C-alpha cells in the first residue's frame, strides 16, 4: 500500500479496537520478543504501532462518525435555550455518544462482518481485511461529504482526482467529512436559534414598552422558551431530526 493508505490502515485499526473491544481476548495482543536483536526491534515496532493506533482511536472515532454533528447541534441548542450549563456538558456528550452508536451500528456491523471477523479467523490478510472493512465506513462518509470540501483537500494535497468512490483516500476523506459535518451542524443550529431569537426579541420589546428597563429580558424569556420546548416535545424532535439527517 502507499504511505497514506498505510497510515489510514493504522488509524482504522485503532477505530476497530475501540468500537469492538469485546471481541479481542488477552491473547490477541501476545507479542513475543525473541532473543536476537532483529526480533527485538521488530517486536518493539509492533508495540509502538499498536500503542499509536490506540492513542489515535478516540480522535478517529469522533471524526469518522456522526458524533461531531450531534454534539455541535446539542451544544447550539443549549445556547439557544439560554440555560448556560444545563444540561451539563457530560450529559450532552453521553447523549451524543449513544445517538452516534445508534446511527453507526449498521456501519459497524457491516465493517465487522466483512473485514474484522474474517481477519480474526485467518481467512484474510490485514490488507484485504482493511480494504473490505473500510468500504462501508467510506460509503457512509461519502454520503455526508460535500463534493466541494472533498475537492478542496485534493487540491491542497495536489493529488489526482479519484476516478471512483472506492479510490478516495481516507486521509483526504476524513477532513472533508469533518468540515462538511460542521457546516451541516451549524445550518441546523441556525434553524434552532431562529425561533428562540424571535421570542427573545418579542419579550425584550414588551419589557421596553412597559418601561421595565432594569428587568433583564432573558429572565422572562428563558422560562417561556423552556415551557414551549417541553410542550412541543423538543428533545424527541431534535433527536429524530438528527438521526434522520444521516439517512
pLDDT tens digits, residue range 126-153?
Answer: 788 888 888 888 889 999 999 898 889 8
Q: Could you tell me how far CA 95 lies from the centroid of its own chain?
A: 13
What are the backbone dihedrals phi and psi of residue 232, each rounded to the nearest 5 degrees, phi first? -90, 10
3-state secondary structure of 245: coil
Burial class, 90, CB count within 10 angstroms (exposed 0-12 / middle 13-18 / buried 19+) = exposed
**pTM of the predicted model, to two decimals?**
0.74
Q: Grid coordinates 422558551 are at which residue?
A: 225
pLDDT band at 37 (very low <50, low <70, confident <90, very high): low
| pLDDT tens by residue, 194-238 | 888 888 888 888 887 777 777 777 778 888 888 888 898 889 999
Long-range contacts of 179-184 (CB under 8 A, 24+ apart): 179/149, 180/144, 180/145, 180/146, 180/149, 181/66, 181/68, 181/69, 181/72, 181/144, 182/68, 182/69, 182/72, 183/146, 183/149, 184/69, 184/144, 184/245
State how many domains the chain has.
Answer: 1
Instruction: Note the pLDDT of residue 24.
Output: 39
CA 131/CA 129 separation, integer angstroms: 5
Would the pLDDT of 79 be above 90? Answer: no
Q: Range of 230's domain? A: 3-244
Mean pLDDT calculated for residue range 169-190: 90
Amino acid at each position: 500500500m502507499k504511505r497514506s493508505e498505510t497510515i489510514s490502515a493504522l488509524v482504522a485499526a485503532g477505530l476497530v479496537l475501540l468500537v469492538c473491544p469485546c471481541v479481542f481476548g488477552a491473547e490477541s495482543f501476545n507479542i513475543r520478543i525473541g532473543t536476537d536483536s532483529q526480533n527485538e526491534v521488530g517486536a518493539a515496532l509492533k508495540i509502538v504501532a499498536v500503542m499509536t493506533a490506540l492513542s489515535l482511536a478516540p480522535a478517529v472515532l469522533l471524526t469518522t462518525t456522526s458524533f461531531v454533528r450531534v454534539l455541535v447541534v446539542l451544544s447550539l441548542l443549549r445556547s439557544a435555550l439560554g440555560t448556560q450549563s444545563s444540561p451539563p456538558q457530560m450529559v450532552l456528550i453521553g447523549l451524543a455518544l449513544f445517538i452516534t452508536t445508534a446511527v453507526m451500528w449498521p456501519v459497524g456491523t457491516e465493517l465487522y462482518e466483512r473485514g474484522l471477523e474474517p481477519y480474526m479467523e485467518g481467512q484474510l490478510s490485514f490488507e484485504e481485511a482493511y480494504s473490505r472493512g473500510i468500504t462501508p465506513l467510506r460509503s457512509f462518509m461519502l454520503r455526508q461529504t460535500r463534493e466541494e470540501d472533498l475537492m478542496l483537500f485534493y487540491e491542497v494535497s495536489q493529488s489526482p482526482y479519484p476516478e471512483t468512490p472506492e479510490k478516495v483516500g481516507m486521509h483526504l476523506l476524513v477532513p472533508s467529512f469533518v468540515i462538511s459535518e460542521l457546516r451541516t451542524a451549524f445550518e441546523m443550529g441556525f434553524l434552532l436559534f431562529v425561533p428562540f431569537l424571535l421570542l427573545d426579541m418579542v419579550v425584550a420589546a414588551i419589557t421596553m414598552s412597559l418601561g421595565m428597563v432594569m428587568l433583564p429580558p432573558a429572565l422572562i424569556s428563558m422560562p417561556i422558551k423552556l415551557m414551549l420546548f417541553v410542550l412541543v416535545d423538543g428533545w424527541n424532535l431534535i433527536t429524530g431530526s438528527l438521526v434522520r439527517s444521516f439517512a
